[in-house]
Amino acid sequence: MSGIRPRIIPCLLLRGNGLYKTVRFKNPVYVGDPINTVRIFNEKEVDEVVLLDFEASRNGRTPDFEKIGEIASEAFMPMSYGGGVTTVEQAKRILALGVEKIILNSAAVETPALIGELATAVGSQSVVVAVDARKNLFGRYQTTWKNTEKSKAIHPVQWAQEACALGAGEILLNVVDRDGTSQGYDLELVREVAAAVSVPVVACGGAASNEDLAAALKAGASGAAAGSMFVFHGKHRAVLISYPAPEEIDSLRR
């Protein structure tokens, strides 16, 4: 796990002024106010928070700097942001708001040189490339972007390797088919990606229990991210912000 302390990370999806949760990147359901949610996570002393404006790139929107600043000012933990970032200048502005890392997805696929430009400007440690993966009709992995509206045949492992070669300091592996399903991580792909790159890999998509989080870490991930697990409770998916207790976190890292 790259010699770093494994992290358990809430992944929050921003849309306008609210937080939402999706299933396989579709059918967003409102789950609450981002400021209140971050305050709760502050109290629970979470390791880190990932904030993704999941419709920004698809809709051709630039980052909402005012909203990002409001959320970052309330976050007492490291925060990573992704969504609509297409230039080094935008990234620098977001980092100046108190965000620790910039997550590139669509822009990285469409303009790979941006990864290196950003790494040179702010350091690789602040550059995360989100790799969205799903299986096609033939059961083969492919890389998608813009909320799965676009895809290409390149295998997620290959794309992760290319992104790291260009300067990415971390990979956020999102498995589309597991998103919001509570069916557990795609551990096979987590293992493949973690073994193929030398930077930290954060697994995302499918977590439903502490056991799932632990399984991702044991598969080689440096971090285990989750959405539904930390915002829903029970079979009726009532909104309840939660996070494992400190003693549970310690056991996950063993």
As a CATH number, domain 7-252 is 3.20.20.70
What are residue 224's DSSP bridge partners? 8, 203
Annotation marks residue 179 as catalytic: no
Specify burial of residue 183 (Cβ count, 10 A radius: 0-12, 13-18, 19+): middle
Name the one residue in this structure whose structure tokens are 């579709």: 26
In the chain, pLDDT over 70 holds for what percent of residues?
Answer: 97
In the chain, pLDDT over 90 holds for what percent of residues?
Answer: 79
Helix axes 88-96, 65-74, angle to 10 degrees: 30
Name the one residue in this structure whose structure tokens are 């997550």: 103
Report the chain's mean pLDDT, rounded to a whole number: 93
- The angle formed by the CA atoms of residues 235, 135 and 104, to the nearest 5 degrees, is 85
Q: Which two tokens stand for residue 91?
A: 């990234």
Cα gap 229→240, rounded to integer Å:
9
Cα gap 34→197, rounded to integer Å:
33
pLDDT digits (tens, 9 = 90+) for 47-77: 999 999 998 888 889 999 999 999 999 999 9
Cα gap 62→53, rounded to integer Å:
10
Which residue in the list 47, 53, 64, 132 is annotated as catalytic?
A: 132
Cα gap 206→177, rounded to integer Å:
8
The domain locations on the chain are: 7-252
Report the chain's C-alpha Rg in angstroms.
16
For residue 2, pLDDT over 60 is answered with no
Longest C-alpha distance within the chain, in Å?
47
Query: Rounded mean pLDDT of 166-173?
Result: 98
pLDDT, residue 89, reads: 98
CA atoms within 13 A on the CB side of 246: 3
Cα gap 186→146, rounded to integer Å:
21
For residue 16, pLDDT over 80 is answered with yes
In sequence order, which residues have a C-beta less than 8 Å from that of residue 156 and are 6 or more positions away? 131, 133, 141, 142, 143, 173, 189, 193
For residue 37, pLDDT over 60 is answered with yes
- Among the listed residues 170, 179, 186, 175, the one whose alpha carbon sits nearest the alpha carbon of residue 222: 170
Supply the DSSP string of 199-210, one letter for each residue: S-EEEES---SH
Task: Indicate the pTM of the whole model.
Answer: 0.94
